[in-house]
Amino acid sequence: MFRKIIVPVDISVLEKGLDILNKAADLLDEGGQIVLLNVVEEVPSYLAIDMPVDVMDNAVHDAGDRLRELMHNAKVDAKIEIRTGPPAREILAAAKSHAADLIIIASHRPDFSNYLLGSTADRVVRHATCSVLVRR
Ligand code: ADP
Q: What's the rounded Cα separation, in Å, for the pair 112 and 87?
A: 18
- Ligand 1 center from residue 11 Cα (angstroms): 9
pLDDT for 92 equals 98
Q: What's the rounded Cα separation, in Å, for the pair 9 and 130?
A: 18
What are the pLDDT digits (tens) for 28-81?
A: 999 999 999 999 998 887 877 777 778 888 999 999 999 999 999 999 999 999
List the beta bridge partners of residue 39. 83
- Ligand 1 center from residue 41 Cα (angstroms): 11
pLDDT for 108 equals 76
| CB distance 92 to ligand 1 below 6 Å | no
Cα 124 to chain centroid, rounded: 11
| Dihedral, CA of residue 115, residue 118, residue 119 and residue 123, to nearest 10 | -120
Report the pLDDT averaged over residues 91-117: 87
pLDDT for 32 equals 98
Instruction: Answer whether residue 88 shows pLDDT above 80.
Output: yes
Kindly write down the DSSP assignment for every residue of the chain, as one continuous string: -EEEEEEE--TT-HHHHHHHHHHHHHHEEEEEEEEEEEEEPPPPHHHHTTS-TTHHHHHHHHHHHHHHHHHHHHT---EEEEEES-HHHHHHHHHHHTT-SEEEEE---TT-TT-SS-HHHHHHHHH-SSEEEEE-
Query: Nearest Cα to 41, choosing from 97, 102, 75, 90?
Result: 90
Report the pLDDT averaged over residues 96-106: 97
Fold of 2-135: Rossmann fold (3.40.50)
Instruction: Answer whether residue 113 shows pLDDT above 70.
Output: no
Q: What's the rounded Cα separation, in Å, for the pair 77 and 97?
A: 20
Ligand 1 atom nearest the C-alpha of 107 is: 10
